[in-house]
Structure 1
Amino acid sequence: MNPQNRQYYNQYPPTGGPPDQPGQPQPGYEQPSPGASYYSPAGSPAPGQPPYQQQPYSSYNAPQGPPQTSQYQYQSQQYPSGLPQAPRQYTLPQPYPSQLPQQGQYAQPPPPYVQWGPSSPQGPHNTYSQAPAPYPPPPQQYGGPLGAPQWSQPQQPEPGYGYGVPPTPASPGYDLAQRAFLAPVDTSADVETLRKAMKGMGCDEAVLIRVLTSSKYENPWAMAQLVGDYNKRFIRDLAKDIESETRGGVETALLALIRGPLEQDVRVLIKALDRAGTDEDALMDVLLCRSNADIRAINAEYRRIKGNELLVDIKADVDDTLFRLYSMVLSATRAEDAAPVISSDIDHKVTELQRATEGTIGANAISVAQIFTNSNTAQLNAISKAYERKYHRSLEEVIEKEFRGDMEDALLYMLENAIDRARFDAKRLEKPLYKTPRKDRLLINRVVSLYWNRPRQDAAKSAYQIHSSARTSLRAAFRGTLSGDYEDLMIALIHERK
């Protein structure tokens, strides 16, 4: 035994093992049988028994010696045949096979780039063309042994889609990809007719109305083709020709029509924000109760036309609370239309609404706005019914009691749209029509927006006849309040004829 091993055994005597000095056996030690590959502290294994294997080192069976600070656990070691040697210093465990560097990879940083000259005796010119691949990370395991199946974290649904449902498609005219599904229309005769109606002295507005409200151009992309073909055929701008040849409500309505729904929404926003005092009605009409796809399209188109961010312009025109509401809207995180109505989720939101309104002194407008802007139409309708069933008061009454001004109008706008959209649209058409003075621009914006959605427009016309104060049709209401070509154009825009 060499001096180093002798010093270790003298300092930490084993409970059993070979004697330090020949002829001085220690208690409990038995000489192993000749040729045995493994030995136990008590002696050779019994016949037919497997040879003894030393247990792996761990915190409870480590050799009695100086305390170790390493946190690693060591693999089992097997002594060779014959007498065991003194234990060596602990070393770090070898990496698992899956952690060993692969061919072309380096466990340590690569040597510096080497460049041999042409006459170098080491060989021809040689360089490293690129840095080697990084050292591969160890496999992620969750309690299983080496080679166990690897498990990954569950994939989270994309934000805004709600419960993993597919997103709501963009409205007609808001996604350029929709154009691929429309067969080109023949516009050659119509562009000639439009130009002839505006040439010379005066303008034949009846011809413009007849062509531009034709069923051939009810699709926004067909209208865009007509405008493009006119501009290309005559090297002119149809919008500028209409501005120079028409006046009043006819001009406003025709321009809104040929722009298409997306550009018209952006033009309405620009006008609503570029004046003394924000037009809150126009702002709500364009931005509230819209799908995420439409909001993203409006944001992008506003940036293209105006050159500014829409939210920045809104911040400069509204108070902080209303700005927070519109920032939630423009984030496009509303639940998609296909997201289900889950009763437990509805009950939780009803409780939160009560705490944020009647349950506190001073309503928490931000909490209410967050619930309203993140819920789709079906969910908000269910919230309204559940609130009245639980607290015996309608949610509309609570909003009217707890809020004032623009915030109240915005919350009621979203709530009434969710409860009965057809009745809500009818109310939106009646209000500017009979207001004194009549708000023609607001009426035109609302009529043209419904023009591109025929089913919704039909539902609004039916609701108008039932819920309007005069109990009359929308067509009759236009005939009784409007006149001339403006009357004819508005009737044509609701798909009615004189």
Structure 2
Amino acid sequence: MAAVSRNHRRLGKSMKIGQRGVVTEAAGFKVEDDIQRLRGAMKGTGTDEAAIIEVLARRTIAQRQRIKEGYKQQVGKNLADDLDSELSGNFQKVVMGLLMLAPVYDAYELRSSMKGAGTEEAALIDILASRTTEEMKAINAVYKKEYDNSLEDDVCGDTSGMFQRVLVSLLTAGRDESSAVDQALAAQDAKDIYEAGEARWGTDEVKFLTVLCARNRNHLLKVFEEYKKISGRDIEDSIKREMSGSLEEVFLAIVKCLRNKPGFFAERLYKSMKGLGTTDSVLIRTMVARAEIDMLDIKVEFFKMYGKTLYSFIKGDTSGDYRKILLELCGEDK
């Protein structure tokens, strides 16, 4: 995992972090004290995982960057490398994610999802369907710098068909970011989607792509209202009827993120843990990426949707230090 460059630090500062995160700036933050605690946690035989959790899961991304820089100055080594060699398993994956700036982590997750045999479509969908235009531009810049290839080229080399076209449309970050709603256009968009799907034999997916990947959020919420009036169905129901597989998943993700992004992530977390086994890649990625942005809202939505707290779900589905660090990122059991 590459060290964070000056460019990356600048990108991190430009990212607007929301005020609905569980992880907030640690009061009385002293870089020197945190470096000493981390060094102590890795000295001698064995590792003090509790100290690592206490420092890294309770600091913001910006504070962690300062710890990384200070560590390198004082020890002459990368903190990420030292921790990587000390830790293992899912706990290690969470810690490594916490040490990265948001666009660096997203780029890393996208790259990992396409490396080797097979593709983890969930990572491509979760990240590309949910990030803002500004976030997507930062991810593209980091990806190019880190991996010496464009994200678009890698996505095109690893996916195909209409699914690929939707992903490319999302990663080019061309969505209208205004809040203007054109009533006449919203009605026309709804009609176009209806005629491209429910009203015909077969589905013209391009029309769905054109509307869902380009229009601004407020406009699309109006389109969804108009669509229900015309078709008598919710847009999500129509997508489920008209599409299948990864294409269905990505279009549903776009709609859900536009309507209620914390609700989308609450559902992803629930599905990653329900039933037998845990989809750790989804659980880790969501907890690390949203801890500082909207975890408070995700927890509210999770309880509303499933009648149980996210905390209790994580506690019942994970174990050891992996469980402990995820619960720190989740915050209180409420």
Q: Same fold (TM over 0.5)?
A: yes
Name the structure 1 match of 2:199.
359
Count of paired positions: 316
1:158-307 equivalences in 2 (<5 Å): 174-177=11-14, 186-214=30-58, 217-218=59-60, 220-307=61-148
Larger mean CA deviation between 353-362 and 396-405 belongs to: 353-362
SS class of match (2:158):
coil
User: Shift of the alpha carbon at 1:233?
Assistant: 1.1
Q: Is the 8 A contact 1:350 1:383 kept in 2?
A: yes
Name the structure 2 match of 1:486.
322
User: Shift of the alpha carbon at 1:260?
Assistant: 2.3
Q: Percent identity?
A: 25
Tell me: CA distance 1:382–1:174, structure 2 relative to 1, closer, same or farther (3 Å). Answer: farther
| Counterpart-to-counterpart distance in 1, 2:316 and 2:187 | 47
SS class of match (1:340):
coil
1:34-58 residue CA offsets vs partner (Å, 9 max, x unmatched): xxxxxxxxxxxxxxxxxxxxxxxxx
- TM-score when scaled to structure 2? 0.89
| Counterpart-to-counterpart distance in 1, 2:275 and 2:217 | 28
Q: Pairwise CA RMSD of aligned residues? A: 2.1
Q: Is the 8 A contact 2:107 2:139 kept in 1?
A: yes
Q: 2:186 aligns with which of 346, 349, 360?
A: 346
| Counterpart-to-counterpart distance in 1, 2:278 and 2:29 | 38
Q: Which has the higher contact order (CA 8 A, sep 6+)?
A: 2
Structure 1 residue ranges without an equivalent (≥5): 1-171
Q: Is the 8 A contact 1:197 1:205 kept in 2?
A: yes
Q: Is the 8 A contact 1:464 1:472 kept in 2?
A: yes
Q: Residue 231 of structure 2 aligns to which amino acid in structure 1? A: Y
1:203-237 residue CA offsets vs partner (Å, 9 max, x unmatched): 000000001122xx22x222211111111110111
Name the structure 1 match of 2:240.
400
User: Shift of the alpha carbon at 1:472?
Assistant: 1.3
SS class of match (1:263):
helix
Q: Is the 8 A contact 1:252 1:441 kept in 2?
A: no
Q: Is the 8 A contact 1:278 1:317 kept in 2?
A: yes
| Counterpart-to-counterpart distance in 1, 2:221 and 2:315 | 35
More helix, by proportion: 2
Q: 1:308 aligns with which of 149, 167, 174?
A: 149
Name the structure 2 match of 1:63.
none
User: Shift of the alpha carbon at 1:397?
Assistant: 1.5
User: Shift of the alpha carbon at 1:173?
Assistant: 8.1
Q: Is the 8 A contact 1:174 1:294 kept in 2?
A: no
Q: Is the 8 A contact 1:173 1:221 kept in 2?
A: no
Q: Which has the larger radius of gyration?
A: 1
Structure 2 residue ranges without an equivalent (≥5): 1-8, 17-24
Larger mean CA deviation between 204-213 and 223-232 belongs to: 223-232
Tell me: CA distance 1:390–1:459, structure 2 relative to 1, closer, same or farther (3 Å). Answer: same
Q: Residue 266 of structure 1 aligns to which amino acid in structure 2? A: A
User: Shift of the alpha carbon at 1:175?
Assistant: 4.6
Name the structure 1 match of 2:297.
459
Name the structure 2 match of 1:323.
164
Q: Is the 8 A contact 2:266 2:298 kept in 1?
A: yes
| Counterpart-to-counterpart distance in 1, 2:298 and 2:198 | 33
Tell me: CA distance 1:260–1:457, structure 2 relative to 1, closer, same or farther (3 Å). Answer: same
Name the structure 2 match of 1:147.
none
| Counterpart-to-counterpart distance in 1, 2:325 and 2:270 | 17
| Counterpart-to-counterpart distance in 1, 2:316 and 2:74 | 40
1:34-53 equivalences in 2 (<5 Å): none
Q: Residue 451 of structure 1 aligns to which amino acid in structure 2? A: A
User: Shift of the alpha carbon at 1:351?
Assistant: 1.1
Q: Residue 297 of structure 1 aligns to which amino acid in structure 2? A: A
